[in-house]
Amino acid sequence: MERLLVKAGIYGFIVGLFLAILFCADTVTTQPGRGLFSSEALPMREYILSLLRFAIKLSLGTVVAVWVYERFLRTPDDEPEPSFWLGFFKAFFIVFALIIVAALLFSAIGQHR
């Protein structure tokens, strides 16, 4: 099981880094007045740290999801999965869906302030 958790962590980090490159903004847009918008580019160091932060969160979430699945949901008489990829993608999509739901909730809360 340890090997499975290490693989889930590594693959979760790599996929998280790719997703962070796609979805993390490198600019900050503010609205200082009515009808005015201001955009500022983030410094490279801050952008890279935000990419790594996202990838690490996704990696830890994937490891926790795989551990919960292996520890509590799998029965001893279950046959092992045909490949690691099936379990990895199940855990990844569960964690990804939770992240999307949390992001939507936080954005909805932020709009009401």
Q: What is the mean pLDDT of the chain?
A: 82
Summarised one tens digit per residue, pLDDT across range 18-45 is 888 888 888 888 888 788 888 888 888 9
Q: Where are the domains of the chain?
A: 2-111
Q: What are phi and psi of 28, to 5 degrees?
A: -120, 125
pTM value is 0.60
Q: H/E element holding 98?
A: helix 84-111
